[in-house]
Amino acid sequence: MAAPQKTSVKVNDQAVEYATEVPIMDKGTTLVPLRTTLDAMDVKLTTATDDTITAVVDGKTITLKSKLTRINGVTYAPIRIVGDAAGYEVRWDGATRTVLLVSKGGATEAVQTGARGFMWEVEHNGNTVYLVGSMHIADDSFYPLRKEFEEAFAEADYLGVEIDISKAADEAQQKLIMDMGMYQDGTTLKDHVSKETYAKLGAILKQSGLEANALDTFKPWVAETTISSLKSVKAGYEASAGIDLYFIQKAVERKLPVLELESYESQLGMFDHFSNELQEKNLNAVLDNFAVLDDSVDQMAEMWKTGDDQGLLEFTNSMAVDPEYNKAMLIDRNIGMADKIDGYLKSDKKEEYFIVVGAGHFLGKDGVIQLLKDKGGTKKEEEINDEYFFSSKFHDILHIHVFIQFEQHK
């Protein structure tokens, strides 16, 4: 097994020199040796006890709450929460596995350059749900996010996600993939797809530096997702920089409960229950478009960063071409997500939820937004400059989005 790749840290393009202690990854969160990292940031550490850090930044004392970890006598802290508190933008370079700490040019600049993204606000019975459309893979150009995202997250009592992808490397999740994604009857991929499909797959695997038979023990849906991931990573996009993992890491740092709207079993089971015909069709679509896959991801990234509602709707509708795929990937999952969100809204707890799921789940006639409206909500719209907004707080980030106010159910 290959050794895990090391993670490095740069402060304003200057590499941080660590002695024996080095940054580590813990369930998707980058932990760094606290004192050495703060010294490189020109921040003086005063105290670090339990989950409280006191430090001096530009002559001012700051106190921040963060989960601290002691390893061989060295105190480690989450890089993102430390960097944010010290006034740095925290970025991720997936190609070099480097955390980049960049001095901010001021709060106004950060807001103006932040990606627009997609966010909706829903209220009912004293509860508030923020719905955030995620890009599961991203790069450092997505960050910093707009202040409206950070402000809404700061108010949340819970983070909700499709699944907690920080647990993806756990032994139990890996076993699920092996159990569902591998043939258990002695056959191989070659026995389940056409000669043409198998040949195309082998050629692309070799082109990517792998053996032509590297995926022989796996089913077509695993091959499809693997090829897509290979291309995305080569283009500089990684799950480690995705919007959902970004907020999962922040939730861990805040000790905020993470709610899963789905499960690893349900998501993997969905792929595994696709018909053999659909699995091979999807695999061929990826193989035939391999040369331009990164262009497609670039287009989706631009759609997210510009908050392109129409582009998102067209993307969602494009998934409806195959009825089997559309029902499993969108319709059934959207119903399940909307039911859970509806439960949060009807709770008597009067709490706030920050829900981050794939952006393609929200719009369209079968989208989560429409499903929530169908559950008894009434749409309140106010038009300003041909734009709809939830409240003045969101007008600068959202457009052609509706505020949904749920009426009291009798």
* pLDDT tens string 177-217: 899 999 999 999 999 999 999 999 999 999 999 999 999 99
Q: In this structure, is residue 2 part of a structural domain?
A: no
Q: Which of 74, 104, 134 is the last residue of a domain?
A: 104
Look at residue 332 and tell me whether its pLDDT is greater than 80.
Answer: yes
Residues 127 and 92 occupy one common structural domain: no
- The residues pairing with 129 across neighbouring beta strands, listed in sequence order, are 122, 353
Residues 243 and 144 occupy one common structural domain: yes
Residues 89 and 160 occupy one common structural domain: no
Average pLDDT on 73-83 reads 86
- Helix H or strand E encompassing 387: strand 387-388
pLDDT of residue 5: 61
Residues 137 and 44 occupy one common structural domain: no
Residues 13 and 151 occupy one common structural domain: no
Q: How far apart are CA 199 and CA 195, in angstroms?
A: 6
What is the DSSP pairing of strand 352-358 with strand 258-260? unpaired
* DSSP structural state of residue 39: H
Residues 212 and 319 occupy one common structural domain: yes
Residue 366's identity, in one-letter code, is D
Per-residue confidence at 95, pLDDT binned at 50, 70, 90? Answer: low
Question: 3-class DSSP state for residue 377?
Answer: strand
Tokens coding 74: 């060295």
From residue 253, alpha-carbon distances to 29, 79, 128, 273, 386 in Å are 9, 10, 22, 36, 40
- Percent of the chain whose predicted confidence (pLDDT) is above 70: 86
Look at residue 132 and tell me whether its pLDDT is greater than 50.
Answer: yes
| Domain count of the fold of the chain | 2
Lowest mean pLDDT among 52-56, 134-138, 347-351: 52-56
From residue 16, alpha-carbon distances to 21, 35, 137, 402 in Å are 12, 12, 26, 46
pLDDT of residue 114: 58
pLDDT of residue 376: 61
Q: What is the CATH number of the domain that holds 64?
A: 3.30.457
Look at residue 382 and tell me whether its pLDDT is greater than 80.
Answer: no
pLDDT of residue 30: 82
Residues 41 and 160 occupy one common structural domain: no
Look at residue 109 and tell me whether its pLDDT is greater than 70.
Answer: no
Lowest mean pLDDT among 266-275, 309-318, 374-383: 374-383
Q: How far apart are CA 157 and CA 251, in angstroms?
A: 10
Lowest mean pLDDT among 42-46, 126-130, 196-200, 264-268: 42-46
Average pLDDT on 336-348 reads 95
Average pLDDT on 326-347 reads 95
Q: In this structure, is residue 290 part of a structural domain?
A: yes
Look at residue 147 and tell me whether its pLDDT is greater than 90.
Answer: no
Lowest mean pLDDT among 12-26, 45-59, 95-109: 95-109
Residues 20 and 82 occupy one common structural domain: yes
Q: In this structure, is residue 256 part of a structural domain?
A: yes
Kindly calculate the radius of gyration of the chain based on its CA atoms and give it in whole angstroms: 23
pLDDT of residue 105: 56
Q: Is 169 exposed, middle or buried (0-12, 13-18, 19+ CB in 10 A)?
A: exposed
**Domain range for 26:** 8-104
Look at residue 396 and tell me whether its pLDDT is greater than 80.
Answer: no
pLDDT digits (tens, 9 = 90+) for 148-171: 899 999 999 999 999 998 887 788
Average pLDDT on 273-300 reads 89
Short-list 172, 127, 168, CA closest to 340: 127
Q: Which of 104, 127, 156 is the last residue of a domain?
A: 104
- Percent of the chain whose predicted confidence (pLDDT) is above 90: 46
Location of structure tokens 């920080």 = 166
pLDDT of residue 318: 78
Look at residue 354 and tell me whether its pLDDT is greater than 50.
Answer: yes
pLDDT of residue 282: 93
Q: In this structure, is residue 64 part of a structural domain?
A: yes
Residue-wise over 56-87: b if at least 16 C-beta within 10 A, else e? eeeeeeeebebbbeeeeebbbbbbbbbbbbbb
The alpha helices in 307-374, defined as continuous H runs, are 309-318, 323-326, 332-345, 368-374
Q: How far apart are CA 39 and CA 34, in angstroms?
A: 9
Q: How far apart are CA 318 and CA 314, in angstroms?
A: 6
Crossing angle of helices 220-234 and 293-306, in 10° steps, is: 70
Q: In this structure, is residue 292 part of a structural domain?
A: yes
Q: In this structure, is residue 3 part of a structural domain?
A: no
Q: In this structure, is residue 110 part of a structural domain?
A: no
Q: Which of 50, 80, 104 is the last residue of a domain?
A: 104
| Sheet of strand 14-15, all strands in order from the earlier edge strand to the far edge | 14-15, 8-11, 98-103, 88-93
Residues 197 and 327 occupy one common structural domain: yes
pLDDT of residue 297: 82
pLDDT of residue 387: 26
Residues 213 and 276 occupy one common structural domain: yes
Per-residue confidence at 1, pLDDT binned at 50, 70, 90? Answer: very low
pLDDT of residue 336: 97
Q: How far apart are CA 121 and CA 353, in angstroms?
A: 10
Look at residue 398 and tell me whether its pLDDT is greater than 60.
Answer: no
pLDDT of residue 79: 86
The model's pTM is 0.69
Residues 74 and 15 occupy one common structural domain: yes
pLDDT of residue 302: 85
Residues 183 and 219 occupy one common structural domain: yes
Q: In this structure, is residue 109 part of a structural domain?
A: no
